[in-house]
């Protein structure tokens, strides 16, 4: 390989930080607060696009010639981290584990701890929302200890900082702690051929394929030849995280590279090449190795529960399909899964819609188009489809569709009891009886459990309710009522019919939608 002369020696570099934690615990709000307060005011307005990473100037030397920088990965933590991690790349130097002081450790907190342990990434605990009235910092530390995360004031080695993304409390202390951990880790840039990693990739209708690269070693410059997996290109232009044109980017710097013929895959390693030929050879070697097989199996529960979302995936280029496969695999559920029944490169076609209708599949398109005639066909066929420009929005939509397959949580709401005093009429599956409401109320349409000598003997529904021979909606405690009771069972036995002295417990069921 042709060696490139670098303008830097092996030296300290800014830390790259990823923020992990449970949903709604404040990961995004912390990132937003840091960005709004630590990016120079005159430049802050320049952040007009989400590129997946940004840098802030902080520390006691901020504003001086000895400024200290921190690079934050501004992507959905678990999905991005897992997709990149699955390719064997360690993109972050330090992780910040965010735990809300009012909710403590939650399932995604535990998942984040596992990711941190697997990657052996140094980390800091940020206890957020300490300004809330029901904040309980002590409980958070105790719950973390139960997950083998011992913070410093609990006899452990994990730094902990109490913060509020709402008021800004503790944010400076968090940044100082990041710099301290980075100093202890002695992060260095290698004086070697430049390398980077793709952290985001998409198609821009105006500028073509765009990729955000995080430089790991060396310096990349405009007009450099590079390879990323099976893609080789010359960097036509570069932008920093503020959207400003730059001529070069060094270690730990995020930069947008333009000039790709095809979009590189998220998580792919980027290598510098001395010439077009060298870049082509490196890319061809990756082609010969072959792309990993994709969409091989159903992702989800091991048992055949029948709760599987069928998917048809269409994307602009093959590399996008691989990226979609990687990120979809971060969706985890014990109760529902997904199955890719077909996939391909190109726009959504009539055959995709026909297949989706037949298999009740959800069509997802990435950087694709849907002609109006096909939209009308999809409506007629009852095919569900959606197109996306951002891969993580696609993941959230798939999660929602999978959540729709989950059985709802049933919440039983007790209404009241009625003691049967008389039997008036009986047919195959229903009875007309009279009784007195002994507690609460009975309500037309309510579900009913029949108890005899404190033992449940049947279940059914209160289909008609009368008081003084007039139909009513409900009857309150202490009053008498006549009801039509419908048995709910495939096979009716004589023991199931209501008798005098039985107690009917009336209730309603609230169905609560669940999500993964």
String of DSSP letters for 364-431: EEES----HHHHHHHHHHT-EEEEESSHHHHHHHHHHHHHTTSPPEEEEEEEEEEEEEEEEEE-SSEE
pLDDT over threshold 90, residue 352: yes
pLDDT over threshold 60, residue 284: yes
pLDDT of residue 45: 41
In a domain, 296, yes or no: no
Residues facing 54 on adjacent strands: 72
Mean per-residue pLDDT, 150-165: 94
DSSP codes, 438-458: EEEEEETT-EEEEEETTEEEE
pLDDT of residue 27: 85
Task: Read off the CATH number of the domain in which 468 is found.
Answer: 2.40.30.10
* Contact in structure between 510 and 411 (CB atoms under 8 Å): yes
> Which one is predicted more confidently, 357 or 7?
357
- Looking at the structure of the chain, the number of domains it has is 4
In a domain, 398, yes or no: yes
* Helix, strand, coil share of the chain (percent; to 5): 25, 35, 40
pLDDT over threshold 60, residue 97: yes
Indicate the range of 43-52, 83-92, 342-351 predicted with least confidence: 43-52
Backbone Cα Rg of the chain: 31
Main-chain dihedrals φ then ψ at residue 102, nearest 5 degrees = -95, -10
pLDDT of residue 173: 95
Indicate the range of 80-94, 183-197, 491-505 predicted with least confidence: 80-94
pLDDT of residue 60: 57
* Contact in structure between 137 and 127 (CB atoms under 8 Å): yes
Residues facing 90 on adjacent strands: none
Mean per-residue pLDDT, 72-101: 70
In a domain, 302, yes or no: no
How far is Cα 214 from Cα 53, in angstroms, rounded to an integer? 8
In a domain, 278, yes or no: yes
Instruction: Report the run of H or E that residue 117 belongs to, with start and end.
Output: helix 107-119
Mean per-residue pLDDT, 474-485: 96
In a domain, 294, yes or no: no
Domain end position, chosen among 403, 423, 448: 403
pLDDT of residue 304: 53
Query: Would you place residue 82 in the very low, low, confident or very high pLDDT band (cuts 50, 70, 90)?
Result: low
75 and 180 co-located in one domain: yes
pLDDT over threshold 70, residue 8: no
Structural tokens at position 307: 């709760």
Share of the chain above pLDDT 70, in %: 87
320 and 422 co-located in one domain: no
- Interval 389-408: pLDDT, tens: 877 788 889 999 999 999 88
Mean per-residue pLDDT, 83-87: 52
How far is Cα 373 from Cα 365, in angstroms, rounded to an integer? 16
Domain end position, chosen among 153, 185, 217: 185
Task: Read off the CATH number of the domain in which 147 is found.
Answer: 3.40.50.300
How far is Cα 273 from Cα 281, in angstroms, rounded to an integer? 10
How far is Cα 105 from Cα 488, in angstroms, rounded to an integer? 42
Share of the chain above pLDDT 90, in %: 55
pLDDT over threshold 80, residue 168: yes
> Which one is predicted more confidently, 368 or 3?
368
466 and 350 co-located in one domain: no
30 and 168 co-located in one domain: yes
pLDDT over threshold 80, residue 78: no
In a domain, 3, yes or no: no
pLDDT winner (highest mean) among 100-114, 379-393, 444-458 = 444-458
pLDDT over threshold 50, residue 1: no
pLDDT over threshold 80, residue 378: yes
248 and 151 co-located in one domain: no
Mean per-residue pLDDT, 454-466: 96
156 and 38 co-located in one domain: yes
Main-chain dihedrals φ then ψ at residue 299, nearest 5 degrees = -100, 125
pLDDT over threshold 50, residue 495: yes
Classify each residue of 142-166 as buried b or exposed e, where b means 16 or more C-beta atoms within 10 Å of its C-beta. Answer: ebbeeeebebeeeebebbbbbbbbe
321 and 275 co-located in one domain: no
Mean per-residue pLDDT, 226-235: 91
Q: Is the pTM of this model over 0.85?
A: no
How far is Cα 304 from Cα 298, in angstroms, rounded to an integer? 11
Domain span including residue 164 = 16-185
445 and 461 co-located in one domain: yes
CB burial of residue 485 (10 Å; 0-12, 13-18, 19+) = buried
Please, what is the average pLDDT of the chain? 86
pLDDT of residue 440: 97
164 and 228 co-located in one domain: no
In a domain, 320, yes or no: yes
Give the DSSP letter of residue 265: P
Q: Could you tell me which of 224, 4, 18, 202 has the C-alpha nearest to residue 126?
A: 18
Task: Read off the CATH number of the domain in which 392 is found.
Answer: 3.40.50.10050
170 and 76 co-located in one domain: yes
CB burial of residue 64 (10 Å; 0-12, 13-18, 19+) = exposed
> Which one is predicted more confidently, 87 or 307?
307
pLDDT of residue 383: 93
Domain end position, chosen among 352, 373, 403: 403
253 and 109 co-located in one domain: no
Instruction: Output the 3-class SS for 195-210.
Output: EEEEEEEEEECCCEEE
pLDDT over threshold 80, residue 351: yes
In a domain, 47, yes or no: yes
Mean per-residue pLDDT, 219-245: 93
370 and 418 co-located in one domain: no
């Amino acid at each position: 390989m042709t060696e490139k002369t670098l303008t830097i020696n092996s030296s300290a570099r800014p830390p790259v930080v990823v923020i992990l934690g449970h949903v709604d615990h404040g990961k995004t709000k912390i990132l937003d607060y840091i960005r709004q307060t630590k990016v120079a005011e005159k430049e802050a307005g320049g952040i007009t696009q989400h590129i997946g990473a940004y840098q802030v100037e902080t520390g006691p030397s901020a504003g001086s010639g000895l400024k200290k920088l921190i690079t934050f990965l501004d992507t959905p933590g678990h999905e991005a981290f897992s997709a990149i991690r699955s390719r064997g790349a360690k993109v972050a130097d330090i992780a910040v584990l965010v735990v809300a002081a009012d909710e403590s450790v939650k399932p995604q907190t535990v998942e984040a701890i596992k990711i941190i342990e697997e990657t052996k990434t140094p980390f800091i605990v940020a206890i957020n929302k300490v300004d809330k009235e029901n904040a309980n910092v002590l409980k958070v530390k105790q719950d973390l200890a139960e997950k083998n995360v011992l913070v410093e004031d609990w006899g452990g080695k994990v730094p902990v900082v109490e913060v509020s993304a709402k008021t800004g409390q503790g944010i400076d202390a968090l940044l100082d702690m990041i710099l301290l951990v980075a100093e202890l880790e002695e992060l260095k840039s290698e004086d070697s051929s430049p390398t980077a990693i793709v952290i985001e990739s998409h198609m821009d209708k105006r500028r073509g394929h765009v990729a955000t690269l995080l430089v790991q070693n060396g310096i990349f410059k405009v007009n450099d030849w590079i390879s990323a997996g099976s893609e080789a290109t010359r960097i036509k232009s570069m932008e920093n995280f503020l959207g400003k044109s730059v001529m070069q980017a060094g270690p730990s710097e995020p930069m947008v590279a333009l000039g790709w013929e095809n979009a590189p895959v998220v998580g792919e390693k980027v290598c510098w090449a001395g010439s077009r030929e060298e870049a082509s050879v490196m890319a061809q070697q990756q082609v010969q190795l072959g792309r990993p097989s994709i969409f091989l199996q159903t992702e989800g529960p091991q048992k055949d529960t029948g709760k599987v979302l069928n998917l048809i995936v269409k994307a602009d280029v093959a590399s996008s399909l691989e990226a979609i496969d990687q990120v979809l695999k971060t969706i985890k559920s014990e109760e529902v899964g997904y199955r890719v029944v077909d996939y391909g490169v190109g726009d959504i076609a009539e055959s995709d819609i026909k297949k989706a209708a037949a298999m009740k599949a959800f069509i997802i398109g990435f950087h694709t188009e849907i002609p109006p005639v096909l939209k009308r066909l999809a409506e007629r066929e009852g095919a569900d489809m959606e197109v996306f420009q951002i891969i993580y929005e696609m993941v959230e939509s798939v999660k929602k569709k999978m959540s729709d397959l989950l059985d709802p949580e049933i919440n039983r709401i007790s209404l009241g009891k009625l003691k049967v005093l008389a039997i008036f009429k009986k047919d195959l599956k229903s009875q007309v009886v009279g009784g007195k409401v002994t507690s609460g109320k009975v309500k037309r349409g309510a579900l009913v459990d029949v108890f005899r000598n404190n033992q449940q003997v049947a279940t059914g529904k209160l289909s008609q309710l009368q008081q003084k021979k007039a139909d009513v909606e409900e009857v309150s405690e202490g009053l008498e009522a006549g009801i039509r009771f419908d048995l709910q069972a495939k096979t009716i036995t004589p023991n199931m019919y209501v008798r005098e002295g039985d107690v009917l417990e009336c209730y309603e069921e609230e169905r609560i939608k669940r999500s993964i």
